[in-house]
Amino acid sequence: MKTPIVPFFISHRGCPHRCVFCDQRKISGAEGAIPSAGLILETIREYRRTSGRPAVEVAFFGGSFTSLPHSTQESLLFPLQPLIASGEVSSVRLSTRPDSLDSERAGFLRSLGVRTVEIGIQSMDDQVLSLAGRGHDAAAVERAFGCLKEQDLTVGAQLMPGLPGDTPEKSLDSLSRVLEMGPGFIRIYPALVIAGTGLADLHASGAYEPLSLEAAVALCKVMLHRSLLRGIPVIRIGLQPTADLQRAGTVLAGPWHPALRQLVEAELFHDLVSRLLGEQAPGGLSATVVCNPSRVSDVVGQGRANMDRLLREKGVRIEGVRTDPVYSSHEVAVILPDETRRGDLFNNIRYSTKDAYND
Protein backbone atom coordinates (compact mmCIF):
# COMPACT_ATOMS: atom_id res chain seq x y z
CA MET A 1 0.00 0.00 0.00
CA LYS A 2 1.33 3.43 -0.93
CA THR A 3 2.44 5.79 1.80
CA PRO A 4 -0.05 8.68 2.14
CA ILE A 5 1.26 12.04 0.93
CA VAL A 6 0.61 15.16 3.02
CA PRO A 7 0.69 18.03 0.48
CA PHE A 8 1.52 21.65 1.20
CA PHE A 9 1.05 24.06 -1.71
CA ILE A 10 3.40 27.04 -1.79
CA SER A 11 2.21 28.38 -5.14
CA HIS A 12 4.65 30.80 -6.83
CA ARG A 13 6.76 31.02 -3.68
CA GLY A 14 10.43 31.37 -4.56
CA CYS A 15 9.79 31.65 -8.30
CA PRO A 16 12.11 34.31 -9.76
CA HIS A 17 10.18 34.37 -13.04
CA ARG A 18 6.56 34.38 -14.11
CA CYS A 19 6.44 31.87 -16.93
CA VAL A 20 3.93 32.51 -19.69
CA PHE A 21 1.89 29.39 -18.89
CA CYS A 22 1.74 29.66 -15.13
CA ASP A 23 -0.85 30.54 -12.54
CA GLN A 24 -0.13 28.08 -9.75
CA ARG A 25 -3.00 29.31 -7.62
CA LYS A 26 -5.57 28.33 -10.23
CA ILE A 27 -3.70 25.13 -11.10
CA SER A 28 -3.33 23.89 -7.52
CA GLY A 29 -6.48 25.43 -6.08
CA ALA A 30 -4.40 26.76 -3.16
CA GLU A 31 -3.25 30.24 -2.21
CA GLY A 32 0.32 29.23 -1.49
CA ALA A 33 1.06 30.88 1.86
CA ILE A 34 4.11 29.52 3.69
CA PRO A 35 2.68 27.18 6.37
CA SER A 36 3.75 27.65 9.95
CA ALA A 37 5.48 24.89 11.90
CA GLY A 38 2.30 24.44 13.93
CA LEU A 39 0.15 24.03 10.83
CA ILE A 40 2.60 21.57 9.31
CA LEU A 41 2.63 19.38 12.41
CA GLU A 42 -1.14 19.55 12.94
CA THR A 43 -1.81 18.63 9.29
CA ILE A 44 0.54 15.65 9.52
CA ARG A 45 -1.15 14.47 12.73
CA GLU A 46 -4.57 14.67 11.07
CA TYR A 47 -3.42 12.76 7.97
CA ARG A 48 -1.91 10.02 10.13
CA ARG A 49 -5.08 9.81 12.20
CA THR A 50 -7.49 9.58 9.26
CA SER A 51 -5.30 7.27 7.14
CA GLY A 52 -4.55 4.91 9.99
CA ARG A 53 -1.04 4.58 8.61
CA PRO A 54 2.01 4.79 10.88
CA ALA A 55 4.00 6.94 8.46
CA VAL A 56 3.33 9.60 5.83
CA GLU A 57 5.36 11.40 3.18
CA VAL A 58 5.40 15.21 3.24
CA ALA A 59 5.35 17.12 -0.05
CA PHE A 60 5.85 20.80 -0.89
CA PHE A 61 4.31 21.50 -4.29
CA GLY A 62 3.70 24.47 -6.53
CA GLY A 63 6.61 26.80 -5.88
CA SER A 64 10.36 26.67 -6.40
CA PHE A 65 11.44 25.35 -3.03
CA THR A 66 15.18 25.80 -3.45
CA SER A 67 14.69 29.40 -4.64
CA LEU A 68 13.14 30.31 -1.28
CA PRO A 69 15.35 32.12 1.23
CA HIS A 70 17.45 29.57 3.11
CA SER A 71 15.77 30.52 6.37
CA THR A 72 12.35 29.77 4.87
CA GLN A 73 13.50 26.36 3.64
CA GLU A 74 14.72 25.63 7.16
CA SER A 75 11.39 26.76 8.66
CA LEU A 76 9.63 24.17 6.50
CA LEU A 77 12.06 21.28 6.94
CA PHE A 78 13.31 21.66 10.53
CA PRO A 79 9.89 20.90 12.17
CA LEU A 80 9.86 17.56 10.31
CA GLN A 81 13.14 16.29 11.73
CA PRO A 82 11.79 14.73 14.98
CA LEU A 83 9.04 13.02 12.95
CA ILE A 84 11.58 11.71 10.45
CA ALA A 85 13.72 10.41 13.32
CA SER A 86 10.70 8.64 14.86
CA GLY A 87 9.56 7.19 11.52
CA GLU A 88 6.26 9.09 11.50
CA VAL A 89 7.42 10.91 8.35
CA SER A 90 9.09 8.48 5.95
CA SER A 91 10.50 11.09 3.58
CA VAL A 92 9.99 14.51 2.01
CA ARG A 93 9.45 15.47 -1.61
CA LEU A 94 9.40 18.90 -3.21
CA SER A 95 9.34 20.68 -6.54
CA THR A 96 11.73 23.33 -7.82
CA ARG A 97 13.46 24.86 -10.83
CA PRO A 98 16.56 23.34 -12.44
CA ASP A 99 18.53 26.58 -12.19
CA SER A 100 17.94 26.70 -8.43
CA LEU A 101 19.89 23.51 -7.78
CA ASP A 102 23.56 22.88 -7.17
CA SER A 103 25.62 20.40 -5.16
CA GLU A 104 25.36 22.39 -1.93
CA ARG A 105 21.58 22.70 -2.14
CA ALA A 106 21.16 19.05 -3.07
CA GLY A 107 23.28 18.03 -0.07
CA PHE A 108 21.25 20.28 2.22
CA LEU A 109 18.00 18.66 1.05
CA ARG A 110 19.39 15.16 1.47
CA SER A 111 20.57 15.90 5.01
CA LEU A 112 17.06 16.98 6.06
CA GLY A 113 15.13 13.97 4.80
CA VAL A 114 14.27 15.00 1.25
CA ARG A 115 14.35 11.96 -1.00
CA THR A 116 12.45 13.09 -4.13
CA VAL A 117 12.85 16.33 -6.08
CA GLU A 118 10.58 17.15 -9.02
CA ILE A 119 12.03 19.51 -11.59
CA GLY A 120 9.87 21.71 -13.78
CA ILE A 121 11.66 21.04 -17.06
CA GLN A 122 8.85 21.74 -19.55
CA SER A 123 11.16 21.42 -22.59
CA MET A 124 14.76 20.67 -23.49
CA ASP A 125 14.65 23.06 -26.44
CA ASP A 126 16.34 26.38 -25.67
CA GLN A 127 14.07 28.37 -28.00
CA VAL A 128 10.93 26.97 -26.38
CA LEU A 129 12.35 27.69 -22.91
CA SER A 130 13.14 31.27 -23.91
CA LEU A 131 9.68 31.90 -25.39
CA ALA A 132 8.12 30.47 -22.23
CA GLY A 133 10.07 32.93 -20.05
CA ARG A 134 11.74 30.17 -18.08
CA GLY A 135 14.98 32.07 -17.48
CA HIS A 136 17.25 29.05 -17.96
CA ASP A 137 18.44 26.76 -20.74
CA ALA A 138 18.46 23.00 -21.21
CA ALA A 139 22.00 22.74 -19.87
CA ALA A 140 20.67 23.84 -16.45
CA VAL A 141 18.44 20.76 -16.44
CA GLU A 142 21.38 18.47 -17.08
CA ARG A 143 23.39 20.09 -14.28
CA ALA A 144 20.45 19.79 -11.86
CA PHE A 145 20.02 16.09 -12.64
CA GLY A 146 23.69 15.52 -11.99
CA CYS A 147 23.66 17.30 -8.62
CA LEU A 148 20.57 15.43 -7.41
CA LYS A 149 21.80 12.03 -8.55
CA GLU A 150 25.12 12.63 -6.78
CA GLN A 151 23.06 12.75 -3.57
CA ASP A 152 21.12 9.62 -4.55
CA LEU A 153 17.87 11.58 -4.77
CA THR A 154 14.97 10.43 -6.94
CA VAL A 155 14.40 12.98 -9.70
CA GLY A 156 10.94 13.60 -11.15
CA ALA A 157 10.65 15.36 -14.50
CA GLN A 158 7.73 17.57 -15.50
CA LEU A 159 7.29 18.12 -19.26
CA MET A 160 4.91 20.52 -20.98
CA PRO A 161 4.37 19.83 -24.68
CA GLY A 162 2.65 22.47 -26.79
CA LEU A 163 4.35 25.65 -25.53
CA PRO A 164 5.10 28.54 -27.93
CA GLY A 165 7.67 27.45 -30.47
CA ASP A 166 7.19 23.79 -29.65
CA THR A 167 6.45 21.03 -32.16
CA PRO A 168 5.71 17.33 -31.67
CA GLU A 169 9.24 16.60 -32.86
CA LYS A 170 10.73 18.95 -30.26
CA SER A 171 8.55 17.48 -27.52
CA LEU A 172 9.64 13.95 -28.38
CA ASP A 173 13.28 15.03 -28.54
CA SER A 174 12.88 16.63 -25.09
CA LEU A 175 11.44 13.38 -23.79
CA SER A 176 14.33 11.38 -25.27
CA ARG A 177 16.91 13.63 -23.61
CA VAL A 178 15.12 13.42 -20.27
CA LEU A 179 14.84 9.63 -20.48
CA GLU A 180 18.59 9.43 -21.09
CA MET A 181 19.16 11.22 -17.76
CA GLY A 182 17.26 8.49 -15.91
CA PRO A 183 14.38 10.14 -14.07
CA GLY A 184 12.50 8.21 -11.41
CA PHE A 185 9.20 9.26 -12.94
CA ILE A 186 7.65 11.75 -15.36
CA ARG A 187 4.60 13.99 -15.38
CA ILE A 188 3.23 15.28 -18.69
CA TYR A 189 1.19 18.48 -18.65
CA PRO A 190 0.14 19.65 -22.14
CA ALA A 191 0.13 23.45 -22.16
CA LEU A 192 -3.21 25.12 -21.41
CA VAL A 193 -4.23 28.75 -21.88
CA ILE A 194 -5.21 29.84 -18.38
CA ALA A 195 -6.81 33.22 -17.71
CA GLY A 196 -4.40 35.83 -16.41
CA THR A 197 -1.26 34.24 -17.85
CA GLY A 198 1.08 35.38 -20.61
CA LEU A 199 -0.27 32.60 -22.81
CA ALA A 200 -3.73 34.13 -22.48
CA ASP A 201 -2.39 37.40 -23.89
CA LEU A 202 -0.55 35.62 -26.71
CA HIS A 203 -3.62 33.58 -27.57
CA ALA A 204 -5.88 36.64 -27.55
CA SER A 205 -3.53 38.41 -29.97
CA GLY A 206 -3.43 35.42 -32.31
CA ALA A 207 0.28 34.84 -31.68
CA TYR A 208 -0.19 31.45 -30.03
CA GLU A 209 -2.37 28.46 -30.78
CA PRO A 210 -2.35 25.59 -28.27
CA LEU A 211 -2.55 21.92 -29.12
CA SER A 212 -6.01 20.60 -29.83
CA LEU A 213 -7.28 17.83 -27.58
CA GLU A 214 -6.90 15.33 -30.40
CA ALA A 215 -3.30 16.42 -31.11
CA ALA A 216 -2.40 16.36 -27.41
CA VAL A 217 -3.78 12.83 -26.99
CA ALA A 218 -1.84 11.64 -30.04
CA LEU A 219 1.41 13.20 -28.79
CA CYS A 220 1.00 12.08 -25.19
CA LYS A 221 0.27 8.56 -26.41
CA VAL A 222 3.71 8.40 -28.02
CA MET A 223 5.38 10.00 -24.98
CA LEU A 224 3.70 7.52 -22.64
CA HIS A 225 4.60 4.55 -24.80
CA ARG A 226 8.25 5.56 -25.16
CA SER A 227 8.52 6.06 -21.40
CA LEU A 228 6.90 2.66 -20.82
CA LEU A 229 9.41 0.99 -23.12
CA ARG A 230 12.23 2.55 -21.10
CA GLY A 231 10.70 1.43 -17.80
CA ILE A 232 10.07 4.99 -16.58
CA PRO A 233 6.63 5.48 -14.99
CA VAL A 234 4.49 8.39 -16.13
CA ILE A 235 2.60 9.19 -12.95
CA ARG A 236 0.33 11.89 -14.36
CA ILE A 237 -0.92 13.17 -17.72
CA GLY A 238 -2.84 16.44 -17.60
CA LEU A 239 -3.52 18.75 -14.69
CA GLN A 240 -5.51 17.68 -11.66
CA PRO A 241 -9.12 18.82 -12.25
CA THR A 242 -9.35 21.24 -9.32
CA ALA A 243 -12.49 23.29 -8.73
CA ASP A 244 -10.68 26.41 -9.93
CA LEU A 245 -9.60 24.79 -13.20
CA GLN A 246 -13.11 23.53 -13.88
CA ARG A 247 -14.70 26.92 -13.21
CA ALA A 248 -15.95 28.62 -16.38
CA GLY A 249 -13.48 31.17 -17.70
CA THR A 250 -10.35 29.65 -16.16
CA VAL A 251 -9.12 27.49 -19.05
CA LEU A 252 -9.54 29.65 -22.15
CA ALA A 253 -8.12 27.22 -24.72
CA GLY A 254 -6.02 24.12 -25.10
CA PRO A 255 -6.36 20.37 -24.54
CA TRP A 256 -8.23 20.46 -21.25
CA HIS A 257 -9.97 17.26 -20.22
CA PRO A 258 -10.55 16.01 -16.66
CA ALA A 259 -9.63 12.45 -17.70
CA LEU A 260 -6.87 13.13 -20.21
CA ARG A 261 -4.82 10.13 -19.16
CA GLN A 262 -7.72 7.79 -19.76
CA LEU A 263 -8.09 9.15 -23.29
CA VAL A 264 -4.37 8.59 -23.88
CA GLU A 265 -4.34 5.05 -22.51
CA ALA A 266 -7.48 4.17 -24.47
CA GLU A 267 -5.59 5.20 -27.62
CA LEU A 268 -2.71 2.92 -26.70
CA PHE A 269 -5.05 -0.04 -26.24
CA HIS A 270 -6.92 0.76 -29.44
CA ASP A 271 -3.60 0.60 -31.27
CA LEU A 272 -2.66 -2.67 -29.57
CA VAL A 273 -5.96 -4.40 -30.40
CA SER A 274 -5.81 -3.02 -33.95
CA ARG A 275 -2.28 -4.38 -34.35
CA LEU A 276 -3.39 -7.80 -33.14
CA LEU A 277 -6.22 -7.82 -35.67
CA GLY A 278 -3.70 -7.20 -38.44
CA GLU A 279 -3.37 -4.74 -41.29
CA GLN A 280 -6.00 -6.42 -43.43
CA ALA A 281 -9.51 -6.07 -42.06
CA PRO A 282 -10.96 -9.57 -41.55
CA GLY A 283 -14.31 -8.14 -42.69
CA GLY A 284 -17.42 -9.22 -40.88
CA LEU A 285 -15.67 -11.22 -38.18
CA SER A 286 -16.55 -11.11 -34.52
CA ALA A 287 -13.95 -11.19 -31.76
CA THR A 288 -13.64 -11.17 -28.00
CA VAL A 289 -10.95 -9.22 -26.16
CA VAL A 290 -9.38 -10.41 -22.90
CA CYS A 291 -7.61 -8.00 -20.56
CA ASN A 292 -6.71 -7.34 -16.96
CA PRO A 293 -9.76 -6.17 -14.93
CA SER A 294 -8.19 -2.75 -14.48
CA ARG A 295 -8.06 -2.16 -18.24
CA VAL A 296 -11.65 -2.69 -19.37
CA SER A 297 -12.39 1.03 -19.75
CA ASP A 298 -9.15 1.53 -21.69
CA VAL A 299 -9.93 -1.33 -24.07
CA VAL A 300 -13.52 -0.19 -24.62
CA GLY A 301 -12.74 3.54 -24.79
CA GLN A 302 -14.92 6.39 -23.60
CA GLY A 303 -18.44 5.90 -24.89
CA ARG A 304 -17.31 2.63 -26.53
CA ALA A 305 -15.21 4.71 -28.92
CA ASN A 306 -12.63 1.96 -29.47
CA MET A 307 -15.30 -0.65 -30.23
CA ASP A 308 -16.88 1.63 -32.81
CA ARG A 309 -13.51 2.48 -34.38
CA LEU A 310 -12.50 -1.17 -34.72
CA LEU A 311 -15.77 -1.97 -36.45
CA ARG A 312 -15.33 0.99 -38.74
CA GLU A 313 -11.61 0.55 -39.44
CA LYS A 314 -11.24 -3.24 -39.36
CA GLY A 315 -14.72 -4.55 -39.98
CA VAL A 316 -14.48 -6.53 -36.73
CA ARG A 317 -17.29 -6.52 -34.21
CA ILE A 318 -16.04 -6.86 -30.65
CA GLU A 319 -18.71 -9.01 -29.04
CA GLY A 320 -17.39 -8.68 -25.51
CA VAL A 321 -14.47 -7.90 -23.23
CA ARG A 322 -13.49 -10.62 -20.77
CA THR A 323 -11.33 -9.97 -17.73
CA ASP A 324 -8.57 -12.20 -16.46
CA PRO A 325 -6.33 -11.20 -13.52
CA VAL A 326 -3.58 -13.44 -14.91
CA TYR A 327 -3.02 -10.79 -17.56
CA SER A 328 -0.74 -7.90 -16.70
CA SER A 329 -2.07 -4.37 -17.01
CA HIS A 330 -0.17 -4.09 -20.30
CA GLU A 331 -1.56 -7.23 -22.02
CA VAL A 332 -4.60 -8.11 -24.10
CA ALA A 333 -5.69 -11.06 -26.22
CA VAL A 334 -7.98 -11.04 -29.22
CA ILE A 335 -9.94 -14.28 -29.62
CA LEU A 336 -10.90 -14.87 -33.25
CA PRO A 337 -12.81 -17.89 -34.61
CA ASP A 338 -9.66 -19.86 -35.44
CA GLU A 339 -6.94 -18.50 -33.19
CA THR A 340 -6.03 -16.25 -30.29
CA ARG A 341 -3.58 -13.40 -30.69
CA ARG A 342 -2.00 -12.13 -27.51
CA GLY A 343 0.18 -9.04 -27.18
CA ASP A 344 1.29 -6.25 -24.91
CA LEU A 345 2.28 -2.61 -24.98
CA PHE A 346 5.95 -3.63 -25.13
CA ASN A 347 5.33 -4.77 -28.73
CA ASN A 348 5.39 -8.52 -27.96
CA ILE A 349 2.83 -10.52 -29.94
CA ARG A 350 2.21 -14.26 -30.06
CA TYR A 351 -0.40 -16.57 -31.55
CA SER A 352 -2.02 -19.71 -30.19
CA THR A 353 -5.03 -21.95 -30.61
CA LYS A 354 -8.50 -20.59 -29.98
CA ASP A 355 -8.83 -21.77 -26.39
CA ALA A 356 -5.30 -20.99 -25.22
CA TYR A 357 -5.78 -17.34 -24.24
CA ASN A 358 -4.99 -18.20 -20.62
CA ASP A 359 -1.61 -19.82 -21.36
The pTM for the full model equals 0.92
Query: Do the domain assignments include residue 263?
Result: no
Q: 167 and 210 share a domain?
A: yes
- Residue-number span of the structural domain to which 31 is assigned: 5-258
Query: Do the domain assignments include residue 270?
Result: no
Q: 208 and 88 share a domain?
A: yes
Q: How far is CA 303 from the centre of its chain?
A: 24
Q: What is the pLDDT of residues 58-69, one digit of tens each?
A: 999 988 999 999
> Where residue 67 sits, what CATH number does that domain have?
3.20.20.70
Q: What is the pLDDT of residues 199-233, one digit of tens each?
A: 999 999 999 999 999 999 999 999 999 999 999 99
Query: Do the domain assignments include residue 348?
Result: yes
3-state class of 53 per DSSP? Answer: coil
Number of domains in the chain: 2
Mean pLDDT of 174-184: 98
Q: 250 and 318 share a domain?
A: no
Q: What is the pLDDT of residues 111-132, one digit of tens each?
A: 999 999 999 999 999 999 999 9
User: Which of these three, 226, 258, 290, is where a domain ends?
Assistant: 258
Q: 173 and 290 share a domain?
A: no
Q: 189 and 288 share a domain?
A: no
Q: What is the pLDDT of residues 79-104, one digit of tens each?
A: 999 999 999 999 999 999 999 999 99
**How far is the C-alpha of 233 from the C-alpha of 231, rounded, in Å?**
6
Q: What is the pLDDT of residues 258-280, one digit of tens each?
A: 999 999 999 999 999 999 998 65
Residue 31 has pLDDT above 60, yes or no: no
> Where residue 305 sits, what CATH number does that domain have?
3.40.30.60
Q: Identify the CA nearest to 15 among candidates 71, 106, 97, 105.
A: 97
